[in-house]
Structures are given as structure tokens and as C-alpha cells.
Amino acid sequence: MATSKEMTAGPALPLILKFTLPLLLGNLLQQTYSLVDAAIVGNFLGINALASVGASTSVVFLILGFCNGCCGGFGIPVAQKFGARDYSTMRSYVAVSLKLAAGMSVVIALLTCILCEDILWIMRTPENIFEGAYTYLLVTFIGVPCTFFYNLLSSIIRALGDSKTPFWFLLFAAVLNIILDLFCILALDWGVAGAAIATVFSQGLSAVLCYIYMYRKFEILQGTPKERRFQSKLAKTLLYIGVPMGLQFSITAIGSIMLQSANNALGTACVAAFTSAMRIKMFFICTFESLGIAMATYSGQNYGAGKPERIWLGIKASALMMIIYAAFTFLLLMVGAKYFALIFVDPSETEILLDTELFLHVSCMFFPMLGLLCILRYTIQGVGFTNLAMFSGVAEMIARILVSLYAVPVFGFIAVCYGDPMAWIAADLFLVPAFIYVYRRLKKQVFTNSTVQQTVA
């Protein structure tokens, strides 16, 4: 029988580390099959096919980022009610979130499929890779419900303090995705469409199995018919928290789309370099994302339990882990970036290899800024201030747009390399004072509640 885990007592560092490790392994798996996916495309289908997959990366992030953000937001009230031990309301939140996910994912899939071609034209996708990019993007959009449900179910399970179970389902999806990649591309000769179909099918099957397992193995989720009914009040709360988190990812992605659009105009070689560099970068930065997700659950549970002082302890513990990892990654990428690039690109493609190495060298110097961003943003979201956290996405978007409009046309690919770091710095300049404000609010709230209870007693 699967078990839930409270993080409202005990030393913060080992609790967060233990919770983060399965998340990290899961994210590494996800990025590994993303790397393998791109490597198979690049090595077996060629540079144009690799560029086709990469040309729409930021658009995929715009749509799937919104879905994933909503899923993370839907998990926050579940974590808060779990921390407060209000299990009946927690189960109602779970039931309502599943119904919301069904409606939202279908609507998003339909709209994005209709607008797919227009999006690629707006992004100035080169004509020689347009058809491949359209096919890959369309299949990805059709599979939005699969992605939405998998991430929602994982978010609910993590809210209960269990980060191991989602890892096993992600492991299944990763292995299946790689097998299907090879089968669809090499055996069936489906090209870039095969890579997208493999990803969508593996996530969909994993979501179905995750749903069956969750309700069979987690006794705490076994509810009554009344708890499974749709409740508009709870739906409003979920949307109030989830939609701003989704919009934060989408707003961030708008800046990324502008940056990628500017990069697309530099030619196929720059698109291919950007694609390979982003795949490698995403692999290494998933540790920061994992720490952030862990802090969302940790802070949500402790907020529900009325223990804001433990949230500050969690910030310090996660920041220490982040700095150690950032230093390790800096050394590894400064030395090995060119070797990682060879996973995707033939040694004869010297221009692409050099641009990929340059992108990674610039990025890794600013990883501590990204780590701080993830920790603070997810902590603020975990205690329910998702609207405030959303504005950090606005800061990122503005920074990327400014780089895209004014720096890339003048300085070329080197400006593209600095697009993300400038966005991270802009977000941190907002998040640091925002966290101070939120933490003071939480302490004041707990003090007020304590005073009232003493007066009543």
C-alpha cells in the first residue's frame, strides 16, 4: 500500500533532499529521453529534421508550460489540506481538479491544433524545415490531454509527500518512449512525426496506469460519492491558484518565443545549435526545477500546518544544495560542453558545435540565478501567492523581448546566449523582495491566529 509523507516536523535539509531525489531522478529521466529523442532525430534524420523539432520548442513550452503550471497549482490546495489534516476537503479538491483537467485539456488541444500553422509563420520558421516543424507541433498539441493528466496525477501524489511513485511511472514512460522512438523512426519511417507520436503515446499510457494505481493504492484518497461531486467553490479556488501558475509559464514562454523567433531568423545552423544546446541545458537545470517543486510541497504543507518558520529553514537548506550543484555543473559544462554537443551533431558541423558550446558556457555562469529563481518562486506559489509569483514571469518575458528586439539583430547568436540569463536576473530582482513580503505576511498571520486562540481560551 502506498504511503503519504508529512514534512511539517524534523530537520528541513534531509526532508527536502529525500523528497527531491526521486523528483530529480524523474526529471533527469524526462530530459534523458528528450536528449535521446533529439539524438535519434539528429543522427538518423539529419540536421534539418533536428531543426524542425527545435524550431517549435518555445511554443511547446508555452502550451505545455501552461498545462504543467495549472497542474502544479491544482496540487497546492491538496498539499495545504493534507498538512492541515483536513482529508475530506483534500479528497474533494482531487476530484474537482480531475474534472477541470478534462475540460481544460480538450479545449487547449482543439485551439492549438487550429492555430498551429499560423504560430509557425509568426515565428518566422525557415521554409526548409516548416513542414517537419508543423507535423511535430501538431501531434504534440493533439496529445495535450495526455500530458495534462500525467502531470496532474503526479502533482497530486507529490502533494501527499510521495515523490517516488511518480518517478516509477516516469521511468516507464521514458523507456517506452525511447523504444517507440526507434520503432517509429527506423522501422516505420515516420520521421519527426514518429518522435512526437512516441512521446504522446508513452505519456498517455503512463497517465492511465498512474490513475489506476493512485486510487487503488492510496487509502487516503478513497472518498465518498459526496466528496467526488463537482463543487464550484473548490473549482474557483483551484483555478485561482492554478491558472496564474499556468500563465506564469506561458508569460515566460512568450519571451522565449520572441527569443527563438529572433534566433530562427539567423538561419538553420543557429536553430540546430539552439536545439542541441537547449536539450543539454534542460538536462542540467532540472535539479533546480526539482528543488523548486520540492519547496512548493514543503512550504504548502507547513503553511497548512501554521509553521512559517519552517519555510525559512527550507529556503536556507535548499539554497545550500543549489549552490553546491551549480558549482559542480559550472565545472562540468565549461570543460565538457563540446563533447555533449557531439551527441546530436556530426563532428564535421563545426559551426553548430561551436555555437552550442558558446550557449552552454554562457548559461552555466548564471545557474545560481536560476536556482534562486526556482526556490523562491515555487515557495511563494506553495503558500498560495500564485498571482504574485506570476509577475516574476512578466519580468522574464520583458527581459527576453528586449534582448530579442534590440540585441540579437545587432550581435547575433551571442545575444541569444544571454537571453535566458538576463531573464533569470530580472525575475530574481522581483522575487527577492516578493518573498520577504510574503514571509512577513505569513508570520503576522500566524501571530494573529495565535493571539485570537489565546483570547478565546
pLDDT digit string (tens) for 297-344? 888 888 888 888 899 999 999 999 999 999 999 999 999 898 888 877
CB atoms within 10 A of CB 246: 25
Q: What pLDDT sits at residue 155?
A: 84
Higher pLDDT, 276 or 409: 409
- When pLDDT is averaged across residues 275-297 and rounded to a whole number, the result is 87
Amino acid at 370: L
Q: What pLDDT sits at residue 297?
A: 83
Residues 169-211 have pLDDT tens digits of 888 888 888 888 888 888 888 888 888 888 889 889 988 888 8
Check whether 345 has a pLDDT greater than 90.
no
Q: For residue 379, give every residue at least 6 positions away whose Cβ sits within 8 Å of its Cβ, in sequence order, or none.
A: 292, 295, 296, 299, 311, 314, 315, 435
Instruction: Please work out, in degrees rounded to the nearest 5, the angle formed at the alpha carbon of residue 404 by the alpha carbons of 403 and 407.
Output: 55
3-state secondary structure of 11: coil
Q: Can you tell me the distance from the alpha carbon of 129 to that of 441, in angstroms, rounded to the nearest whole number?
A: 51
Check whether 11 has a pLDDT greater than 90.
no
Q: For residue 447, give every residue at least 6 positions away whose Cβ sits within 8 Å of its Cβ, in sequence order, or none.
A: none
Q: Can you tell me the distance from the alpha carbon of 211 to that of 193, in angstroms, rounded to the nearest whole number?
A: 27
Instruction: Please work out, in degrees rounded to the nearest 5, the angle formed at the alpha carbon of residue 327 by the alpha carbons of 254 and 60.
Output: 20
What is the distance between the terminal CA atoms of the chain, rounded to a whole angstrom? 41
**Residue 135 pLDDT class (50, 70, 90 cuts):** confident
Residues 76-120 have pLDDT tens digits of 888 888 878 888 999 999 999 999 999 999 999 999 889 888 888
Whole-angstrom CA distances from 89 to 81, 94, 151, 217 are: 7, 9, 21, 19
Q: What pLDDT sits at residue 369?
A: 96
Q: Do 365 and 284 form a contact (C-beta atoms < 8 A)?
A: no
Check whether 407 has a pLDDT greater than 90.
yes
Check whether 154 has a pLDDT greater than 80.
yes
Q: Can you tell me the distance from the alpha carbon of 261 to that of 199, in angstroms, rounded to the nearest whole number?
A: 25
Q: What pLDDT sits at residue 126?
A: 73
CB atoms within 10 A of CB 248: 28
Q: Can you tell me the distance from the alpha carbon of 279 to that of 72, in angstroms, rounded to the nearest whole number?
A: 23
Burial class for 348, CB neighbours closer than 10 Å (0-12, 13-18, 19+): exposed
- When pLDDT is averaged across residues 158-173 and rounded to a whole number, the result is 81
Q: Do 340 and 282 form a contact (C-beta atoms < 8 A)?
A: no
Q: Can you tell me the distance from the alpha carbon of 292 to that of 377, in angstroms, rounded to the nearest whole number?
A: 7
Q: What backbone phi and psi angles, to 5 degrees, belong to 33?
A: -75, -20
Q: Do 97 and 154 form a contact (C-beta atoms < 8 A)?
A: no
Q: Do 404 and 261 form a contact (C-beta atoms < 8 A)?
A: yes
Check whether 436 has a pLDDT greater than 50.
yes
Q: Do 407 and 422 form a contact (C-beta atoms < 8 A)?
A: no
Q: Do 362 and 420 form a contact (C-beta atoms < 8 A)?
A: no
Q: What pLDDT sits at residue 37?
A: 67
